[in-house]
Chains A and B, each alone.
Chain A
């Protein structure tokens, strides 16, 4: 049982990170617009995040320190500051989007306008971060997020034509009127959603919170190689139901309600209730992760005491950053800006910031001073470098494609 709970960090990271509001929206939107023609991006993203999350976990277990903690020390304050600025802004924007996502899930269950839920959601996220133990937090929301499996059940229930599905996924073709630029814009959005920077910062900081050591490599790897692929499967299921219900009807998913509708059509009220529970748990879990990650990055850069393994009084500045990030997120959402639009922009900005996150990880994972015998092997370096080139291409193409396609229109 203890071993089972030990892998919940990976599940939380996967559910709250891989399947957060960005993925819920991006996968449903892409499924409704392109069917399975962009399904190939999900495994590409899963392999990339597994590769780098494993490096981060190894850094945390081998050195006892989180990755961001080492970036400034290893690469100097200027690089560290650039990394901090980009990562913090993307994480704060994502936090705002997650708060909006939780409020939208509550609106779907209650029909009370999401704006009324936003202050309460912000308060609850802060309260959970402040009061609830790290392990309990990850168990409750990680396992709650598993309710999203209902999308896989709904997909099965909707009776897909498996042969056609595999053909569409392996031979992607564009519908008449769809441009290649828009296709690649959404490919970048999906990839950015899969490799959001906060996932790796949260994962390595969470490893330190859980006091990983060299003896915990097996647990860390189970977290990575079970959690993220599971998140990837859930993403494909969400894409799948949208592809089956909305793609033939020519409807592009633009709201969280549309995203959940196929579960009602396939499984009725119980299916819908489970889906809403999963969406709530996944977005709330991601709000906890992004809130904590905002605190982790700033506190680790400035060398402040951080973490939930010490009393809040001993890590006052860490908790202050979290509180201010939450207040900023709540205020942004209360401007009535569309949470789905914030999400769409946050995942594209995330794609732009990717090199600043992943290059330092590759450098630190190769440094024997920190890693000892656990430095990257040839396999990790080969694939790590291939992905770094991919990340650079994605990052360079994101803004031109955003402009050329009017943000995917």
Chain B
């Protein structure tokens, strides 16, 4: 009986280990925002590396499609996860809005990249990805400021 209870507890704790917790203070919310910006930046960086491979014609369309689709859906998950966190006080709304704007703009560029790849317009990818470099810098600065 005790063995079963221990096994069940371990199972539940293991599942909960992957869950994000709520924010209890402005500082906590700020840290979560910084972490979200870092995660989003990693996705943007992956997309930039993928575009680099596409620009030099070093990867086929199918491969680029999978990577950019993954990047788009990962960013959407990151954004949804952050937007699901309740801002603890009105002061946090500006933070939420600033980061939300950066994430939405990055998401829009990734969507356009995915569309271009599926249309076979691989040559257009570097130009389409142009705004990602600026967004990468902004996300990095955001994460640095609120870490």
Chain A positions within 8 Å of B, measured between CB atoms, are: 107-111, 177, 245-246, 249-252, 254-255, 257-258, 260-261, 264-265, 267-269, 272, 341, 345, 399, 402-403, 406-407, 409
Contact = CB atoms under 8 A, between A and B. Distances in A.
Interface residues of B, number: 29
Contact of B53 (A264, A345, A403, A409): A264
B37 to A, nearest CB: 11
Given A107-B66, A272-B63, A406-B18, A264 B58 contact: yes
A250 B67 contact: no
B70 A406 contact: no
Given A261-B53, A264-B63, A249 B14 contact: no
B38 interface: yes
B12 to A, nearest CB: 11
A212 B45 CA distance: 51
Nearest to A176: B147
A71 to B, nearest CB: 22
Given A111-B65, A250-B41, A406 B17 contact: yes
A107 B74 CA distance: 17
Interface of B: 10, 13-14, 17-19, 38, 41-42, 45-46, 49-50, 52-53, 56-63, 65-67, 70, 74, 147
Contact of A249 (B10, B17, B45, B74): B45
A370 B46 CA distance: 54
Contacts of A258: 46, 67
Contacts of A264: 53, 58-59, 63
A272 B58 contact: yes
B18 A108 contact: no
13 contacts: A107-B66, A110-B62, A111-B66, A251-B49, A255-B67, A261-B59, A264-B58, A264-B63, A268-B56, A269-B60, A345-B14, A402-B14, A403-B14
Nearest to B147: A177
Contacts of B45: 246, 249-251
A269 B56 CA distance: 10
Given A111-B62, A177-B147, 14 more contacts: A108-B62, A109-B62, A111-B63, A250-B45, A254-B74, A257-B66, A257-B70, A261-B46, A269-B57, A272-B60, A341-B18, A399-B10, A402-B14, A407-B17
Nearest to A272: B59
Given A258-B67, A407-B18, A245 B49 contact: yes
Given A403-B17, A407-B18, A257 B10 contact: no
Chain A to chain B: the 6 pairs with minimum beta-carbon distance, closest first:
A111-B62, A264-B59, A268-B58, A111-B65, A251-B42, A249-B45
A341 to B, nearest CB: 8
A334 to B, nearest CB: 18
B17 A402 contact: yes
Contacts of A177: 147
A272 B17 CA distance: 35
Contacts of B17: 402-403, 406-407
B42 A250 contact: yes
Interface centre among B18, B19, B58 (most CB of A within 10 A): B58
Contact of B59 (A107, A249, A254, A269): A269
Nearest to A266: B58
Contacts of A246: 45
A249 B49 contact: yes
A171 B127 CA distance: 41
Contacts of B70: 255, 257
Interface centre among B18, B19, B45, B74 (most CB of A within 10 A): B18
Given A250-B42, A251-B42, A407-B18, A261 B49 contact: yes
A344 to B, nearest CB: 10
A290 B102 CA distance: 45
Given A261-B53, A264-B58, A407-B18, A252 B66 contact: no
A167 to B, nearest CB: 25
A258 B50 CA distance: 9
Nearest to B60: A269
A289 B59 CA distance: 31
Nearest to A409: B18
A110 B64 CA distance: 11
A162 to B, nearest CB: 23
B50 to A, nearest CB: 7
B5 to A, nearest CB: 15
